[in-house]
């Protein structure tokens, strides 16, 4: 497992977590007990199940994930593992620090390592002007940006929900996992399937 993938790019999903857990009745309406705030369920599974599992499943089936960005809900950035009375920790800060602890290079160096062009300006990273200003205020120089922040700040790549850096990192890792699996059905060296069987699996 690649260190950059494990400590940086695969953590993009944290930015897609929603603040509210929807609970819906049979008609798709909010149940009388209401929706749940995510942090109200930390270490309290009975809170989420008090109205039964069905409202939660309905809510999850219609809910939409947040778009990947460097903006975390307060449930993750203020109340992680905490509650409204005793504030928790900050997952956003943890992710940045994890990258530093693991010796992950800066944003541009990470891009270069993965065969991508370096970014010269904040405008090259994102078309969102407010985000450009925030990055400049926090880092001052493109060469100082943490890889996690830079990756989250990039505009979406090829209609995906992630930027180019994370896209390339995850693609490379998934290909490695697939090609390293001796039981993967397209691995012709394992002798598990005849060509006709492989074609049959592909057709499913």
Q: Where is 20: in which H helix or E strand?
A: strand 20-21
Query: 165-196: string of b/e by CB count within 10 Å (b at 16+)?
Result: bbbbbbebbeeeeeeeeeeeeebeeeeeeeee
68 DSSP assignment? P
Rounded Cα distance, 24 and 19, in Å? 16
Closest CA to 76 of 37, 116, 36: 37
Residue 63 token pair: 């809910």
Distances (CA, A) of 60 to 14, 45, 129, 135: 17, 16, 33, 33
**Is there a binding annotation on residue 86?**
no
Q: Helix (H, G, I), strand (E, B), or coil: what is residue 194?
A: coil
Rounded Cα distance, 35 and 55, in Å? 9
The annotated binding site for heme b is made up of 14
The annotated binding site is made up of 14
């Amino acid at each position: 497992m690649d260190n950059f993938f494990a400590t940086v790019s695969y953590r993009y999903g944290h930015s897609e977590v929603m603040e509210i857990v929807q609970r819906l009745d049979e008609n798709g309406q909010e149940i009388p007990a209401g929706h749940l705030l995510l942090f109200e369920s930390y270490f309290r599974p009975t809170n989420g199940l008090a109205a039964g599992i069905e409202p939660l499943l309905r809510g999850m089936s219609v809910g939409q994930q947040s778009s990947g960005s460097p903006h975390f809900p307060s449930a993750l950035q203020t109340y992680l593992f905490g509650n409204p009375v005793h504030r928790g920790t900050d997952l956003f800060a943890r992710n940045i620090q994890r990258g530093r602890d693991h010796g992950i290079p800066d944003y541009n160096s990470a891009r270069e390592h993965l065969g991508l062009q370096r970014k010269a300006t904040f405008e090259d990273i994102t078309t969102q002007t407010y985000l450009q200003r925030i990055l400049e205020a926090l880092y001052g120089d493109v060469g100082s940006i943490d890889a996690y922040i830079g990756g989250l700040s990039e505009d979406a790549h090829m209609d995906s929900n992630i930027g180019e850096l994370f896209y390339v990192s995850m693609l490379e890792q998934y290909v490695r996992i697939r090609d390293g699996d001796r039981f993967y059905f397209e691995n012709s060296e394992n002798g598990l399937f005849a060509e006709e069987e492989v074609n049959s699996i592909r057709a499913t």
